């Protein structure tokens, strides 16, 4: 076959498929947009695990009527101007890709009202393009993003997903954000079951949020420690269950510079630490929150931004290990001692 250039439409669809692998990725991006917009409350609703519909409503700064047409266009952002800005980026977004990508794989509607505007405006997008012009609409201050029929044009993906699984992943993301952003109010409502699944509304502290979004068993067995290494500018904390807690599923929430990330290395380290402390088949619950200088971390490794690379990684892993060992050993001894008459 001769070499041919792919059409822009195919290129966009491939790129979009990478950013939006499942509803949970899209919702994570939209939550980050709401946080970037200064929202205090973020309400998420889903139908059929987000595959038929999901929406996210915030009370952030909103998008002005004249900016609406650009919001769903690829590489259009209000957050990054120069490549050099990337290392100092204070916001989550920077690629201007999330909304456009979503519109390539689902039907996207944005309704938004900055406080300075009299009414909200609504505009829908498909394939990275606005459908006509924004029209006035009822709406509160803030932004409502609705996505319908995700993957309607990707038959394989639509069929291969199980709504219960896609929903579970959405709930995982929202629990993680509720815990990390303890001052923000999150809720997740499952329309097809008429059920609120996660709610962190006006809870006083992180421990209570852990109790309400996970369980009392987790929150009452939590140990905490600071993670600080001044020389490399690392600061943070770790919350982890003691050896008394025996969970069924390993829960690991990692935030670096306020981004929810995944790390195989950290996962392995923690698993091996607990191997010595937990009975077989028991799993821990761990939340790690680390901040480091922006220049030491590369968030541009992967389109979903779930993988990041950072400097001094080995040193940070050692710090985590040291702190956990220090606290877990005494709880282990306590337990053994308590059975001795
Ligand atoms: P990025 O976040 O990388 O800039 P997005 O496609 O996620 O790209 O969003 C495009 C633009 O739309 C943002 O730069 C922002 O100006 C605006 N926007 C998106 N979501 C919101 C929101 N919830 N509140 C206010 N503005 C938003
Ligand atoms: Mg964004």
Residue 209 covered by a domain: no
Q: What's the start-to-end Cα distance of the chain, in Å?
A: 79
Residue 204 covered by a domain: no
Residue 206 covered by a domain: no
In a shared domain, residues 37 and 172? yes
> Considering 173, 199, 225, which residue would you say is the last residue of a domain?
199
Residue 340 covered by a domain: no
Longest CA pairwise span in the chain (Å) = 81
In a shared domain, residues 122 and 239? no
Q: What angle do CA 305, 306, 310 make, to 5 degrees?
A: 85
CB of 128 closer than 6 angstroms to any ligand 1 atom = no
In a shared domain, residues 60 and 21? yes
pLDDT tens, residue by residue, 98-153:
899 999 999 999 999 999 999 999 999 999 899 999 999 998 999 999 999 999 98
CB of 254 closer than 6 angstroms to any ligand 1 atom = no
CA separation for the pair 73, 326 (Å, rounded): 50
For the entire predicted model, the pTM comes to: 0.90
For the question of an ipTM over 0.90, the answer is yes
Of the candidates 26, 18, 94, 29, which has an alpha carbon nearest to the alpha carbon of residue 298? 94
CB of 35 closer than 6 angstroms to any ligand 1 atom = no
Residue 225 covered by a domain: yes
28, 93, 97: residue to mutate for ligand 1 pocket, most atoms within 8 A of CB: 93
CA separation for the pair 236, 113 (Å, rounded): 36
Residue 53 three-state SS? strand
> In the chain, what percentage of residues exceed pLDDT 90?
68
In a shared domain, residues 170 and 223? no
């Amino acid at each position: 076959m001769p070499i041919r250039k792919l059409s822009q439409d195919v290129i966009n669809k491939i790129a979009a498929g990478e950013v939006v692998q499942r509803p949970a990725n899209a919702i994570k991006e939209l939550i980050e947009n709401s946080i970037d917009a200064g929202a205090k409350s973020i309400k998420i609703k889903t139908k059929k695990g987000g595959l038929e519909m999901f929406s996210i409503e915030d009370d952030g700064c909103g998008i002005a009527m004249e900016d609406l047409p650009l919001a769903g266009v690829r590489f259009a952002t209000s957050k990054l101007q120069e490549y050099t800005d990337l290392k100092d980026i204070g916001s989550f977004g920077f690629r201007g890709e999330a909304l456009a990508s979503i519109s390539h794989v689902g039907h996207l509607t944005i309704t938004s009202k900055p406080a300075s505007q009299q009414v909200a405006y609504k505009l829908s997008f498909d394939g990275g393009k606005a459908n006509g012009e924004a029209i006035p609409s009822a709406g509160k201050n803030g932004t409502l993003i609705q996505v319908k029929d995700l993957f309607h044009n990707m038959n394989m993906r639509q069929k291969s997903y199980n709504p219960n699984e896609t929903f579970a992943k959405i709930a995982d993301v929202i629990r993680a954000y509720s815990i990390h952003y303890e001052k923000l109010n999150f809720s997740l409502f499952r329309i097809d079951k008429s059920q609120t699944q996660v709610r962190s509304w006006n809870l006083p502290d992180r421990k209570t949020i852990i109790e309400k979004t996970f369980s009392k068993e987790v929150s009452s067995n939590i140990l905490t420690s600071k993670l600080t290494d001044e020389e490399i500018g690392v600061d943070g904390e770790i919350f982890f269950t003691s050896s008394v807690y025996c969970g069924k599923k390993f829960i690991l929430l990692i935030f670096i510079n306020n981004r929810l990330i995944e790390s195989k290395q950290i996962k392995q380290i923690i698993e091996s630490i607990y191997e010595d402390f937990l009975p077989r088949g028991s799993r821990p619950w761990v939340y790690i929150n680390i901040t480091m200088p922006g220049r030491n971390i590369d968030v541009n490794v992967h389109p979903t931004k779930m993988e990041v690379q950072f400097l001094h990684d080995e040193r940070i892993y050692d710090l985590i290990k040291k702190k956990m060992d220090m606290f877990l050993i005494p709880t282990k001894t306590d337990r053994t001692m308590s059975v001795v008459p």
